[in-house]
Structure 1
Amino acid sequence: MSSTPYLDALSRDGFVTIPNLIPPQLLLALKACSKYTTDRARQGKWPYVRTVPKQYPPWQEWKPGDNIWGIQHLLHADMNVRDTFAELYFSDEVLSVVKELLGLKDDPNGDEKLVMELFNLLVSPAQHQDFELSWHRDDIRPDVTPEEEERLLQEKSPGGQQLHAQYNIALFQDSSLIVIPGSHRRVRTETERAAAPYEPHLPAQLVVELQPGDAVFYDSNILHRGIYKGIDVTSDFGRMTLHGSVGLAGHGNERARQVLQHAVGDWVDRAQFSIEGRRGERAEGMRRRLVDMGGGKDLGYSLVG
């Protein structure tokens, strides 16, 4: 039996699913906070959102008539239910997986090498307006040559290791994420390069099925896309999935761009948390290491659209 089954699966397939990651009581609390937060965002009472049809940052603040597919900055100092979101983000359940994936499982100082990054909520658009994300890797543009793609894949996962761990945690049933297993370690095939951006069927693609409380951790280099089914918000909750990332300290601008392009540097210096004890110390250390990365004003954006 391997001592790192999650890392083994991530290295082989580019993703790993973990059932029932969230304790039942916390799952109930997160559902309630997410419903409340989503309602406020749809009414324009929380301006930091991802709007249809824009896929990548920079994100614009909400304006009347906007339909949203994501809610940004759940750990923001002005988010009035952020303590509940912080309970999950800094939890042992999540960070024990993160440390395994970042090679810190047996490191007694592992907590001191973690960096707070992003924590957002992905939701179904309203008014039955479907929305799709095109096939992409999170930090490699689709127009690069095969040679450049190979170089970037190696650069962004030195020695086969990611500089961060990212995940989706479903609060309700979710089958939105589509991945191509193994594509995180190779350049695209000719079929993949020639495919339309929203090609519905690529060879070997797999729909990641999550039940409430399940998580999927995935390599940001994996070829993937998302499908968001629009709903009637008066009768359906649709998709509510927490999307987060945690970084590995000491990698400068290479990781800073991907994080700070989301404008988290604008508020993290005042994002104190009410968590106590060892987890509180861990949370403050992770927050401080993000502050140390700076504001990110001149780092640019990974993808365009």
Structure 2
Amino acid sequence: MSPIKETYDSQGFVVVPGLISSIDFPKLQEAADTIVNRTREGSWPHRRTVGKQFPPFDNDHPDSWGCQHVMHPDLGKPGVIFSHWYTSDALTRACAELLQCGEEDLQLELFNLLINPLEHSFALRWHRDDVKENALPEEEKVALDQWHSGVQWNTALYEDSCLYVVPGSHKVPRTPEQRARSSTLEPPSNPMDMPGAVLLTLKLGETVFYNSNILHCAAYDHTVKRATLHACTADSRHGAARGRNILQHGLSWVNDERFREQLTPKGRRMLDRLLDLQKNTSAEDVGYSLEG
């Protein structure tokens, strides 16, 4: 077992530096700036709005904390740049290592951008991405035991000190005190009040891979620039296990032929596995994982 896989299995996350080449880094920063500007001026409608923590997102607030669907063909050149990064050799090798699969098994999924709001600091409540806050301990245990088919990752284009996690919590139900601090829809006033919590600071260019059912939250300071790539990749051999968590974000646009054309051959094969997931997931199986 590799060192990054061993750490990932035991802690629920691992930080890996150096996945972005010196040639690609300024391209990714420029692409991010373009999308952020479009989102803030209102010409890119797919955004995460302040006041809404989880999908479905709305337009009830003018300030944004995220840009959705950054590989979308309507974005033009930035979408192509992000598509090529998502399917880059360094990144897909790391995903395959953590998922213990071949690169030929990888499935294309979500790719978004987390940004600082301009006028309002914002926080997410403590949560697991696909386990309800009121799940009983035995329900949590079943869900955690089944959640091994995908990996979530954040790559920092600027230093990022927003994500809090409880190491090891991807394997065990919450303690009573942890449950008390993660059973409401309200974000914490101080994330470090959660027993076992640590703050993950990502340096420029570092990527944290994490199990998205680890207990985690985030706090966004509107005064500090943030542009963090936020995505997930899956092992397609697990079939429809990822359906609800992925398709709740609205991915009909991946059927656009323009999207296929902007992908590398590897990316097209990853896309085909996502399209198979869409076909094999019924509408009644796609709901929203969390509220808030």
**Normalising by structure 2, what TM-score?**
0.92
- 2:126–2:181 CA contact under 8 A, matched in 1: no
- Take 1:269 and 1:195, find their aligned partners in 2: how far apart are those partners? 41
What's the secondary structure of 1:121's corresponding residue?
A: strand
Q: How much does 1:222 deviate? A: 0.6
- 1:273–1:283 CA contact under 8 A, matched in 2: no
- Take 2:240 and 2:90, find their aligned partners in 1: how far apart are those partners? 29
1:72 partner letter: Q
1:153 correspondence with 2:144: yes
Q: How much does 1:198 deviate? A: 3.0
Q: How much does 1:154 deviate? A: 1.4
- Structure 2 residue aligned with 1:107: none
- Structure 2 residue aligned with 1:251: 238
- Structure 1 residue aligned with 2:217: 225
Q: How much does 1:21 deviate? A: 2.1
1:51 correspondence with 2:49: yes
**Normalising by structure 1, what TM-score?**
0.88
- Take 1:24 and 1:291, find their aligned partners in 2: how far apart are those partners? 33
- Structure 1 residue aligned with 2:74: 78
Q: How much does 1:268 deviate? A: 0.5
The RMSD of aligned alpha carbons is 1.6
1:258-287 alpha-carbon deviations (Å, 9 max, x no partner): 1110001x1111122435xxxx22110111
After superposing on structure 2, the runs of 4+ consecutive aligned residues of structure 1 that deviate more than 6 Å are: none
1:7 partner letter: K
Q: Which runs of 5+ in 1 are unaligned?
A: 105-109, 157-161
- Structure 2 residue aligned with 1:133: 124
Count of residues paired in the alignment = 280
Q: Which runs of 5+ in 2 are unaligned?
A: none
- Take 2:271 and 2:241, find their aligned partners in 1: how far apart are those partners? 18
1:83-162 equivalences in 2 (<5 Å):
83-104=80-101, 110-127=102-119, 129-156=120-147, 162=148
1:269 correspondence with 2:255: yes
2:164 partner letter: I
- Take 2:160 and 2:239, find their aligned partners in 1: how far apart are those partners? 34
- Take 1:116 and 1:51, find their aligned partners in 2: how far apart are those partners? 25
1:282 correspondence with 2:279: no
- Take 1:281 and 1:212, find their aligned partners in 2: how far apart are those partners? 29
What's the secondary structure of 2:229's corresponding residue?
A: strand
- 1:181–1:222 CA contact under 8 A, matched in 2: yes
- Structure 2 residue aligned with 1:66: 62
- 1:168–1:241 CA contact under 8 A, matched in 2: yes
- 2:73–2:80 CA contact under 8 A, matched in 1: no
Q: How much does 1:293 deviate? A: 1.6
- Take 2:262 and 2:35, find their aligned partners in 1: how far apart are those partners? 19
- Take 2:261 and 2:150, find their aligned partners in 1: how far apart are those partners? 22
1:75 partner letter: M
- Take 1:12 and 1:6, find their aligned partners in 2: how far apart are those partners? 10
| Aligned-pair identity (%) | 38
- 1:56–1:303 CA contact under 8 A, matched in 2: yes
Q: How much does 1:5 deviate? A: 1.2
- Structure 1 residue aligned with 2:199: 207
- Take 1:14 and 1:32, find their aligned partners in 2: how far apart are those partners? 31
Say which structure is richer in helix. Answer: 2
Say which structure is richer in strand. Answer: 2
